[in-house]
Each structure stands twice: as structure tokens, then as C-alpha cells.
A = this chain, B = another copy of it.
Amino acid sequence: MPHLLLKDLPRYECLLECSKHFPGLDPSACEAFLYLLRAGDEAFRVIDAHFQAHDLSQGRFTVLMLLFEKPSGQPHALTPAQLAEQSGVTRATMTGLVDTLERDGMVTRRPDPVDRRQLSVELTPRGLEFLQSLLPEHFRRISALLSPLDENERRTFVALLGKVAACASETFPAPVHGAPAHT
């Protein structure tokens, strides 16, 4: 589900032209911004096409990965609230994601004997098997996407992306999904 975006990015000369009409328009910033959005979109599209072929969405994949046993070894059981917090969606959305994953037999909900409000979401053997069958192609696509960049360029790339992302979350902080904590 790519963000709606211009099919053909405007040329830099066009942006220069536009900047004459809009004093606030920074041509090189706009160009970098558009390239960032388009590259992110393209990368997302490539990964999502693979997911869709297996009736998976980005959201469902993230949930499965969170429940996937870490290298440490022990399997993961998380509550819907924890899953929502760690994957950056609302609890309401997580309800829907777990609904479909449970319907497809990938995860199970279990009531918590201690706190009867909570549930415990776990990966089923079928979910584990599914994920493991999916990951090789997933990683292959990621490797292919980044193949035009050598190790040095990748370091530079990560550094630049990190700067922009940090600036975004500092200058325009994201609203907190849970309680606003208005202190």
C-alpha cells in the first residue's frame, strides 16, 4: 500500500523554478524529501508484494516477528497491549491483527490466570513454520534492494537517514498512542 505519490518526480530545475514563486521552497530539501519518500515507498512495495502473496500485511508480519523466539532461545508470549506498544499501533488495531492471525491459526490467545483483564498471545507451531518458510525470501529481497550500495555507502546511508529521522522526531514529536501523560 504505497503512499500516493507523484509517478514522476519533478526535475531539480523545475523545483528551482518553483522556488521563485514560493520564497519558502528549498529546492535541494524538496528534492531530497521527494527522493526519500519515493525510495521508502519502493522498498515498502517490494517487501509488501512478497507479503501479499502469502496473505500477509506489514502489520501481521510485525506481530509474528515480535512473537518469534529471539536468538536467546525462549519463545515469546506478549499481551496485546505490549504488541501494540512495540509495533507502534493502537490497541484497537492490535485487536484486529490478532483476530485475523488467530483465525488463520498463526497465534493463540490465552487468558492470564493472574490478571483476568490480560491475554497472552503466542505463536503456534503453524505460525512458526509459516514465518520460517517466509523469511528466506524476505531477507533475499532486502539484500537485493541494498545490493547497489557497498558497505561504505551503506554506512553513509544509515548515518544520513538517522539524521533525518532524528530531526523529524525531535522537531515534530509523534503523539503518544497510549495515555497522553500531560505533565
A: residues with CB less than 8 A from B are 2-8, 14, 17-18, 20-22, 24-26, 28-33, 35-46, 49, 58-59, 62, 71, 85-89, 135-136, 139-149, 151, 153-158, 160-169, 171-172, 174
Top 9 A-B residue pairs of the complex, sorted by shortest distance between their CB atoms: A40-B40, A42-B168, A29-B146, A39-B161, A35-B161, A4-B59, A24-B139, A39-B165, A26-B143
Interface majority SS (helix, strand, loop, mixed), chain A: helix
A42, B146: Cβ atoms closer than 8 Å? no
CB pairs A–B below 8 angstroms (19 shown): A3-B44, A3-B58, A4-B62, A5-B87, A8-B86, A17-B71, A20-B71, A24-B139, A24-B143, A28-B146, A31-B154, A32-B154, A33-B142, A38-B161, A39-B162, A147-B167, A148-B167, A156-B156, A160-B160
B136, A164: Cβ atoms closer than 8 Å? no
Decide: A45 near B174, CB < 8 A? Known: A142-B30, A156-B156, A160-B156. yes
B167, A144: Cβ atoms closer than 8 Å? yes
Report B-chain residues with C-beta under 8 Å of the C-beta of A8: 86
CA distance A155 to B151 in the complex (A): 19
